[in-house]
Amino acid sequence: MATQSSFTTVTDPETLRKLAEFKGVWVYAEVDDNRLTSVSAELLSAARYVAQKTGEEVSAVLLGYGVERFAEELAKRGADRVYLVEHQALQTFVSDAYTEALSQLIVAKKPSVFLFGANRNARDLASRVAGRVNTGLAADCIQLEVNDKGQLEQIRPDFGGKELSVVLTPRNRPQMTTIRPGSYRAPDPDDSRRLVLERFQAKLAEQHMRIKAVKTVRQTLDPKEDLERARVIVSGGMGLRNRENFGLLRQLADLFDGSAVAGTRSVVEKGWLPSHLQVGQSGKTVSPKLYFAVGLSGAIQHLVGMQNSEVIVAINIDRDAPIFQISTYGIVGDLFEVVPLLTEEIRRLRSQMLTTKQESKESVAGH
Partner 1 sequence: MVLLNIVVPVKQVPDVSELRLDPVTHALIREGVPSILNPYDRYAVEAALRLKEKFGGIVTAVTMGPLQAKKALQECIALGVDEGVILSDRAFAAADTWATAYTLSVFIKTIPFDFVVCGLKAIDGETAQVGPELAEFLGIPHVTYVKGIQVDITKKMTSVERQLENGYDVWEVPFPMLFTVAKEFGEPRMPTLSGYVRAKRAQIRTLTAQDLVKLGGDPKNFGLKGSPTFIPKVHPPPARPPGVVFEGDAKDSVQKLVQALAERSLV
Minimum distance from residue 366 beta carbon to partner 1 (Å): 28
Helix (H, G, I), strand (E, B) or coil at 227: coil
Give the β-pairing of 35-36 and 113-117: unpaired
Q: Looking at beta carbons only, is 76 or 284 nearer to partner 1?
A: 284
Q: Looking at beta carbons only, is 68 or 225 nearer to partner 1?
A: 225
Nearest alpha carbon to residue 125 among 98, 107, 86:
98
Cβ atoms of residues 51 and 119 within 8 Å: no
CA–CA distance, 233 with 28 (Å, rounded to integer):
28
CA–CA distance, 306 with 230 (Å, rounded to integer):
12
Q: Looking at beta carbons only, is 203 or 218 nearer to partner 1?
A: 218
CA–CA distance, 308 with 51 (Å, rounded to integer):
23
The secondary structure of residue 279, as a DSSP letter, is: B
Helix (H, G, I), strand (E, B) or coil at 30: coil
Q: Looking at beta carbons only, is 44 or 126 nearer to partner 1?
A: 126
Q: Looking at beta carbons only, is 73 or 100 nearer to partner 1?
A: 100
Q: Looking at beta carbons only, is 78 or 111 nearer to partner 1?
A: 111
Distance, CA of 192 to chain centre: 26
CA–CA distance, 260 with 225 (Å, rounded to integer):
6
For 137, phi then psi, to 5°, come to -140, 125
Nearest alpha carbon to residue 46 among 58, 34, 38:
58
Minimum distance from residue 365 beta carbon to partner 1 (Å): 26
Tell me the HSE value of 67 on the side-chain side, using a 13 A CA sphere.
Answer: 28
CA–CA distance, 168 with 4 (Å, rounded to integer):
11
Q: Looking at beta carbons only, is 161 or 236 nearer to partner 1?
A: 161
Q: Looking at beta carbons only, is 80 or 228 nearer to partner 1?
A: 228
Burial class (CB in 10 A: 0-12, 13-18, 19+), 335: buried
Minimum distance from residue 199 beta carbon to partner 1 (Å): 27
Q: Looking at beta carbons only, is 192 or 220 nearer to partner 1?
A: 220
The number of beta carbons lying within 10 Å of the beta carbon of residue 320 is: 9
CA–CA distance, 97 with 102 (Å, rounded to integer):
9
